[in-house]
Copies of this chain bind each other. A is one copy, B any other.
Amino acid sequence: MNMGIVIGRITATRKDENLVGFKILITQPIDVQENATGQALITVDMAGAGIGEKVIYVSGSMASRATQNKDAPVDAAIVGIIDTIDVEMKFGGKD
């Protein structure tokens, strides 16, 4: 899974019927220093996330499982709200 921050939402009136009823949010991936990293993606919210919240999202076919609808064509889903990111070891290499 990866860390992200919710930055917006998508409106799509015409969509797959198995996407109807889901809250569709834009999530910006972040690194452990909470900096943006890479492209924002479209996620289905399964954790009650709001704008500005740090979240855990899951990618690929397991995201569909999170929706509890086997027919939902979903490849990214928010599955948790992050309370704290605790980096206990700074690591850049072996020595």
- Residues on A lying within 8 angstroms of B by beta carbon are 1-3, 5-16, 18-19, 24, 26, 28-29, 31-43, 46-48, 51-52, 56, 58-66, 70-77, 79-94
Are A16 and B73 neighbours in the complex by a CB distance under 8 Å?
no
User: Pick the contact of A12 from B34, B80, B91 — CB < 8 Å?
Assistant: B80
Closest to A35 in B: B93
Q: Within the oligomer, what is the number of copies of this chain?
A: 5
User: Pick the contact of A11 from B71, B84, B92 — CB < 8 Å?
Assistant: B84
How far is it, in angstroms, between the C-alpha of A74 and the C-alpha of B31 when the chains are bound?
19
How far is it, in angstroms, between the C-alpha of A83 and the C-alpha of B91 when the chains are bound?
19
Give the shortest distance, in Å, between A34 (CB) and chain B (any CB).
Answer: 4
